[in-house]
Amino acid sequence: MSKRILVIQGHPDGDQPHLLHALADAYTDAARQAGHAVRTTHVAKLDFPLLRSQVEWEKGELPSALRQAQEDIGWAEHLVLFFPLWLGDMPALVKAFLEQVARPGFAFHYKEGGSPFNAKGLKGRSARVVVTMGMPALVYRWYFRAHSVKSLERNILGFVGIAPVNETLIGMVGDLKAEDAQKWKQKLARLGELGH
């Protein structure tokens, strides 16, 4: 069964090709060949400001540069977010992007009567998070407990109703041999074919 998929390239360096770009391309190409409808967003190519207050987040206008990305999130049934691990977390640009697009009235809705629980605006969508890192992925997963990815899954994606969220963690990218990079591209292509 074909899906509507949004691939979000979160590498902050949009000028140089990186492994993450090759992985996202492998996923995207295979997904399209398998009959899925795929849209892409390159966060590094978007020009938008940082949010600086709760009032701005709740009542301010979504920057025009992000309107298409937010529309694509609403359109998608499955989101695939690619980013490198920087200082143990997602790059600031990715977090700024998510803060901007996941605004009240779109990603969730406040319930009447001051309920502490909000209505999740993006229910019915699944996601995959693909993260590259310099450390071994097993060290990040078991010693650091993949804390930043788990926080993303629970506190951002889960908060707005996106579930399930699967992860692909790729470690030691600085030492990755060409044949290992090719194997990862093949794995991502297979996930793209399946729409996972």
DSSP tag of 157 = I
Q: Which domain holds residue 64?
A: 4-194
- Torsion angles phi and psi, residue 14, rounded to 5: -90, -5
**Confidence band (pLDDT; 50, 70, 90) for 113?**
low
Which CATH number covers residue 62? 3.40.50.360
Amino acid identity of residue 24, one-letter, is A
Q: Which residues pair with 104 in a beta bridge?
A: 108
List the Cα angle 177/31/179 in 5-degree steps: 10
> pTM higher than 0.75, yes or no?
yes
- Tell me, what's the pLDDT at 116? 55
Give whole-number Cα distances, 174 to 3, 135, 181, in Å: 33, 9, 11
pLDDT at 42 over 80: yes
CA-based torsion, 187, 196, 98, 4: positive or negative: positive
- Tell me, what's the pLDDT at 33? 98
132 contacts 85 by C-beta, under 8 angstroms: yes
Identify the weakest region by mean pLDDT among 20-24, 33-37, 123-127, 144-148.
144-148
CA dihedral 70, 63, 25, 164 (to 10 degrees): -30
**87-109 pLDDT per residue, tens:** 999 999 999 999 999 999 999 98
Number of CB atoms found within 10 A of residue 53's CB: 9
pLDDT at 178 over 70: yes
Pairing of strands 4-9, 37-42: parallel
Counting the structural domains of the chain, the total is: 1
**Confidence band (pLDDT; 50, 70, 90) for 16?**
confident
Q: What rounded mean pLDDT belongs to the chain?
A: 94
**Confidence band (pLDDT; 50, 70, 90) for 145?**
confident
